[in-house]
Structure formats: C-alpha cells, structure tokens
Amino acid sequence: MDKVKLYAEIIEALLRNYAKFHPIGDWAEYENQVIIDKGKRYFQLMCVGWKGSRRTYFSQIHLDIKPNGKIWIQEDLTEEGIAKELIDKGVPKSDIVLAFYAPFRREDTGFAVA
C-alpha cells in the first residue's frame, strides 16, 4: 500500500474514533462531524451544536496530506496531541508538519519543516 493511502486510512480511523466522544454535561443538540475530502486529502473533525442559547462550532482536528506525502496538522485541540497518535501508528516525525506553528518556528519542533 502506498504511503499516502496508508496515512489517509490512519487519519480517518483516528478521526472516527474521536467522533465517538461527546462532552460531559447536557449538550443535547451536540454532535461531532467527520468531514473528509479524499480527492484533495483534507480531514476534519468538527464539533457543532447547541446548549440552550449557547452555540458551539469549531474544528477540533484538521489535517491535510500534501502531494509530497507529508501530513500537515492545521489544528489540534486534542489532549495528548494527534501527532503522538500518528507516531504511535507508525508515521515518522519526518512526515508530520505542525502547520499551526509559524514556518520559522517549525525547525525547533522536532517534526518536518514542510
């Protein structure tokens, strides 16, 4: 299996697992939505819903797989970090870009620069 296809499968499985969890409390009209564009290789976990008159709408996780095969983490609001989970699944740090850091700061992260 080629690297990009493998990475897409790993990311999709991780997002679907995260989507199973719901916040503690009475968020009756709350849901997690996994949004995937396989053609462009965009992956998101959106959190949407209501608690009374309070609206929530945000991207909890957003990853892209670039044409060079690197995974760009655009947003990560997980507790442990999606990068750690990707590494645990066999993705090398050299294929992960922490894109939420400014380009000049990425060289200090221990992950790929671009």
- Does residue 113 lie in a domain region? no
pLDDT at 54 over 90: no
pLDDT, greater one: 76 or 55: 76
Q: Which domain holds residue 51?
A: 3-108
- For residue 76, being part of any structural domain is answered with yes
Count of structural domains within the chain: 1
Q: Does residue 114 lie in a domain region?
A: no
Provide the token pair at 65. Answer: 């797989």
Which percentage of the chain shows pLDDT scores above 90? 80
Decide which of 83 and 26 is more confident.
Answer: 83
Give SS3 for 14. helix
Domain holding 61: CATH number? 3.30.310.110
Residue at 104 is within a domain: yes
- Residue 7 in domain: yes
pLDDT one-digit tens code per residue, 19-41: 988 666 666 678 899 999 999 99
Mean of the per-residue pLDDT values for the chain?
92
C-alpha pair distances (Å), 82 with each of 3, 24, 26, 87: 18, 21, 27, 9
